[in-house]
Amino acid sequence: MRPISENRDLTRGAIYKHMIRIGIPAALGMLFNTLYNLTDNWFAGQISDEALSGLSIASIVFAAFLALGMGLQSGTSAMVAADLGTRQPEKVRDWINCSHGITWFLSLLILGLGWIFAQDLLHFLSGDKSIIDKAWDYTSVILFGNVFFNLTSAFAGALIAHGNTTAYRNVLIAGFFANWLLNPLFIYVFDFGVAGLAWSTVLIKLGSAAYLWKELKAETEDLTKPSYDFNRWKQLLAQIMPASMNMLTIIIGGYITIYFISQFGDNPVAGYSVGIRLEQLLLLPALGLNASVMALVGQNFGAGHYERVIEIYHKSLKLALLVSLFAIPVMLFLSPLMMDQFTDDPEIIAVGVYYLRVDAFAFIGYTVLFCSNASLQAIKQPIFPLIIGLLRQIIVPTMVFYLLIKVMNQGLHSIFWAIVSIVLFSAVMALVYTQGRLKHLSRHRGL
């Protein structure tokens, strides 16, 4: 493993400088990843309305890949960063190789389960045979290519642990532009229809995994290969599965919210959907900060620099506040202008604007949750973020929304104010718990 330069040694040096160096490429990559998904939706709409609906239905199955990928990225990053901090390159290589091996195992498991159950799930989600056929055209290809999604995530997690988010940024940007070339090729030249979107994505992910594999070799001076140390697998799974489940709670929670909003009609759903996508764009800097925290806390935790771990968490909260001070006025005052770019329908605009202005009060809560969850994951305590996710995304919203809409006959706006209340309460819980765990860590490790 090549020596770590002072600029990239996360156990020393200016914390803010490290955060900015790691966070900006990560946020930029996420921006292009979001644009990538919008590109697929645009091309599907050019094929037909049924194709767009089929892609939307297939995305629910696709959510399983996203959840597993997030878990692999977070879990790999947590285990690798800790041993990077201890300056034990042989252990770092062992974790990367075991992550490589477990990725193949989980990907084959998803392929098998998907081939058995995916069609039944698609039939459950839609009764329209034409839409189901289009969804299966897409899903059947993606299932065979899911290993490339997961390898990309696992390799990215190992690189992020090294403080390298530039490589992942590069593949996400390149993937966005490649998608604009490959989608028309597969759709119009080869006449693959919706399946063409999937073939394009699989090829891009294959290239992404190969590029990150090469970058990881340069980082570690060793070519990663699958390893099957089941004791390490068990430790990896203890990090991967809670993070994956936490991602699933976000996806499921989104569908629960849309279900209750749909009680008021299609236009409110459209307004909320546009509003939340705009909010997600504003949250990208905070998500970049999330990657910084994972790497910084992980390496310093492994090195035993627990005072510095606490300092990193506190400084991440200050940067989160700075991001919020920029985003909140945008949501409050520029939301009508932003919504106008997506639709001319006054009802859709009104719903989106109201959501953005209300949820501006929760923005700081989201950033606190990101920083707290990343810190806990990095010190190998992923269970609390999962518990908070289950409560915030599924259990509490289901009960509160049902009470407001079905029992108390409250209007659409009550859902948005309930979201703010739930997010802020969850953020306070996460803040208190994370502070407590970090202080407990420092007290019991000889500080």
Give pTM, 2 decimals: 0.88
Contact status, residue 154 vs residue 212, Cβ threshold 8 Å: no
Give me the torsion for CA of 298, 300, 305, 309, rounded to 10°.
-60
Among 331, 291, 353, which Cα is nearest to 159's?
Answer: 291
Question: pLDDT, tens digit, for every residue of 410-442?
Answer: 999 999 999 999 999 999 999 999 999 998 887
**What pLDDT, on a 0 to 100 scale, did the predictor assign at position 42?**
82
**What pLDDT, on a 0 to 100 scale, did the predictor assign at position 68?**
79
Going from N- to C-terminal start, the domains of the chain cover: 16-228, 242-447
Query: Is 70 exceeded by the pLDDT of residue 3?
Result: no
CA–CA separation, 150 and 155 (whole Å): 9
Exposed/middle/buried for residue 152 (C-beta within 10 Å: 0-12, 13-18, 19+): buried
C-alpha dihedral sign at 229, 230, 235, 239: positive
CA–CA separation, 249 and 388 (whole Å): 10
Which residues, at least 6 apart from 261, have a Cβ–Cβ distance to it below 8 Å? 268, 269, 272, 412, 415
**What pLDDT, on a 0 to 100 scale, did the predictor assign at position 275?**
87
Question: pLDDT, tens digit, for every residue of 311-343?
Answer: 999 999 999 999 999 999 999 999 999 888 777
**What pLDDT, on a 0 to 100 scale, did the predictor assign at position 8?**
66
Tokens of 348: 């859709």
Query: Is 80 exceeded by the pLDDT of residue 163?
Result: yes
**DSSP secondary-structure letter at 361?**
G
58 vs 250: which has the higher pLDDT? 250
Among 396, 97, 399, 356, which Cα is nearest to 226's?
Answer: 97
Conformation bin of residue 410: beta by default, left when phi > 0, alpha when psi is -120 to 50:
beta
Query: Is 70 exceeded by the pLDDT of residue 7?
Result: no
CA–CA separation, 229 and 188 (whole Å): 46
